[in-house]
Structure 1
């Protein structure tokens, strides 16, 4: 029995990978060859061919002797079909565009043109009411004025002044929003951001006395950026005209307020006339603001696109297409020979009569 076990164990050998010697496996397999200290291959039967004398080591979980059972393959089932579109799964929804950033004062800046036109119209109406009051004062020097007429005049002046001031304030806020967007767009065209914050723009346009200087500075910066991007160079001139009108209107408003504190009747009458001119200049400032807004948009004063004109430098001297007609003098008329053809005289082109030319050709 023991001899049979030894015989069965001795039938398994380990060949050496270096010298080729085969060592019988008596117990635990060896790793190194006792002769040359080469690597011993895995145990293999003695009568196995050389290419099959090795085994493939397979790692199994501990405590598991038999290989895992192979899963039973089922026959392929029929492809499922749907009689209607299934409600599950992913839905192909259209891509939603990113919402545009919320613009400050967008509700007013989009209607800046309408607000400026309304402001100019109300200021003209206020100037007409001041003119009517001045006419009543002139009439009152010689005749008495009815009380109801005075009441109507005072009410018209008061209502028109309040409406003009309210619309001017709303238009100023709309212009601040428009200025912010215009500067942001001008800097964005050059790949930059506006260095001035929204608070700085608002304070520079709203604070009294300060708003006489900074709005012009802000507009000048935006105009230069637009001109650098290819806009009309006359845009900077429109900004300067608006700035001058804005300063003139501020001076007239200050003088008109001073006239309100006068005690003399004649000075008060002069104040009415001064208020008339102040209202007219304010209307002109509103119109200039509208023209400036349209100029930044590439439009003319009526809101139409400006025609593009290109000026090309002439490199060659100017030559007239048709030679000018010079009057013929008496001497040149005598020098030109003529030939009689019937009752008419025809001048030969070479200075020789046609008859003489025919004779020369005949000879």
Structure 2
């Protein structure tokens, strides 16, 4: 044993120090603190006691490694309650849970720019109609006078550019409208805790495939409008869908009428085709504006994007003015002096008797 320790036999009861490892023999009452380093003394136990009878365990150290020197224990005589001079910076961070990422919407990039696309489409089709009208005016003037080459070049460029840009913008706007229709139907069915039975693929095929898109867009929009009306939406929404559908069918009919003019060989028929193209472009511009109005109608907005004011029906308490005027007493008749017949002799006794009765009848009426 180390110096200062008492150990007369292997069965002596000792108390090991938890800090420096020294073992002190128990003589009488057990100690609590190590006399060497002031560390905590473990509970008394025989030197050769098995592990299950001890509340400590032996740790083997490499040869030559010394026990660290005991540090002096500083004792302060203050009895004040510990306190902070500033708000402590330590502690657990109660971070809010991260928000779940919103699911990626299909065709979101085009749907977010739907208003701009529809306005651009209407503007380009309007420009195309003006270009066709200018071409028709040039044809009329060319019957008697020659046209300047630069004017013909401007007319050809306007017609060509508008004929290429307008269908491209119309197709992009149609795709954006399909994305908007999918989101609108999904939101309408979500209010009823249901899912849309029409998939995005079905909506795209029904709205973009020629001939088929004359019927199915109106059906898809009608279903969404009925759901909105059932949820408290504007009852006029279904009428707006029917107006848009009629404009869409009219535009398709004008396109079918205009196509044969492209293959005409007569100058007069070609000139008529220019007018037909102008009316078709105007109808297409109208369909774009009607589409914008329909999109805003589903959002309870007017065509200019302002909140739509709804009228309210109230119970009428009574008419503002009486329907039947009250009966009033007629004023007494005043006999004028100049109305007296001068010739009293011409008036018979029978007429004299009838005059008071006629006056009474007039007063009664």
Count of residue pairs the alignment pairs up: 267
State the shift of 1:95 in Å: 2.1
Partner of 1:222: 224
Q: 1:190 to 1:322 in 2, by over 3 A?
A: same
Matched residue, 1:69: 54
For 1:118, the equivalent position in structure 2 comes to 120
- For 1:180, the equivalent position in structure 2 comes to 182
What is the root-mean-square deviation in Å for CA atoms of aligned residues? 3.3
Aligned equivalents of 2:319, 2:89: Cα separation in 1: 80
Distance 1:247 1:66 in 2: 96
Measure the CA separation in 1 of the matches of 2:51 and 2:243: 100
Write the mapping of 1:72-221 to structure 2, written as runs, cut at 5 A: 91-221=93-223
Q: Could you say if the C-alpha distance between residues 168 and 67 of structure 1 is closer, same or farther in structure 2, counting changes exceeding 3 Å?
A: closer
Deviations 1:49-87 (A, max 9, x none): xxxxxxxxxxxxxxx999713459xx9x99x99999999
Q: Could you tell me how far apart the structure 2 residues matched to 1:269 and 1:331 are?
A: 82
Q: CA distance change for structure 1 residues 327 and 117 in 2, over 3 Å: closer, same or farther?
A: farther
> Aligned to 1:267, which of 245, 266, 269?
269
CA–CA distance in structure 1, aligned partners of residues 189 and 118 of structure 2: 26
State the 1:91 CA deviation.
3.7
Distance in 1, matches of 2:224 and 2:126, equals: 30
Shift of 1:93: 2.6
Q: Give how far 1:253 is off.
A: 1.0
The alpha carbon displacement at 1:164 in A equals: 1.3
1:219 CA drift (Å)? 0.2
Counterpart among 283, 296, 299 of residue 298 in structure 2: 296
Distance 1:66 1:195, change over 3 A: closer
Is 1:232 the counterpart of 2:234? The answer is: yes
SS at match of 1:192: coil
Residue 232 of structure 1, CA deviation: 0.6
* Structure 1 residue ranges without an equivalent (≥5): 1-63, 335-363
Instruction: Provide, for residues 168-191 of structure 1, a one-character-per-residue CA deviation record: whole Å limited to 9, x for no partner.
Output: 111111101100000001111111
3-state SS of 1:302 partner: coil
Task: Kindly indicate whether residue 247 of structure 2 is the aligned counterpart of residue 245 of structure 1.
Answer: yes
Task: Say if 1:318 and 1:91 are closer, same or farther in 2 by CA, change over 3 A.
Answer: same
Cα separation, partners in 2 of 1:319 and 1:272, compared to 1, 3 Å? closer
CA deviations 1:125-172 (Å, max 9, x no partner) are: 110010000000000111121222212111111111211112111111
Structure 1 partner of 2:331 = 330
Aligned-pair CA distance for 1:282: 0.5
Deviations 1:309-331 (A, max 9, x none): 221344x6547489968776323
Task: Give 1:223 shift.
Answer: 0.3
Give the drift of 1:295.
Answer: 0.2
Query: In structure 2, how many angstroms separate the alpha carbons of the residues matched to 1:286 and 1:321?
Result: 50
CA distance in 1, matches of 2:265, 2:163: 22
2:260 corresponds, among 258, 261, 271, to: 258
Query: How has the CA–CA distance of structure 1 residues 138 and 230 changed in structure 2, closer, same or farther, with 3 Å as cutoff?
Result: same
* CA–CA distance in structure 2, aligned partners of residues 152 and 98 of structure 1: 55
Provide the secondary structure at the position in 2 that maps to 1:330. Answer: coil
User: CA–CA distance in 1 between the matches of 2:323 and 2:279?
Assistant: 57
Q: Distance in 1 between matches of 2:124 and 2:272?
A: 22
Q: 2 CA distance for matches of 1:95 and 1:312?
A: 49
The answer for the alignment partner of 1:307 in structure 2 is: 309
Question: TM-score with structure 1 length normalisation?
Answer: 0.66
Change (3 A) 1:319 1:137: closer
State the SS of the aligned residue for 1:99: coil
Q: Distance in 2 between matches of 1:66 and 1:109?
A: 76
> What is residue 361 of structure 2 aligned with on the other side?
none
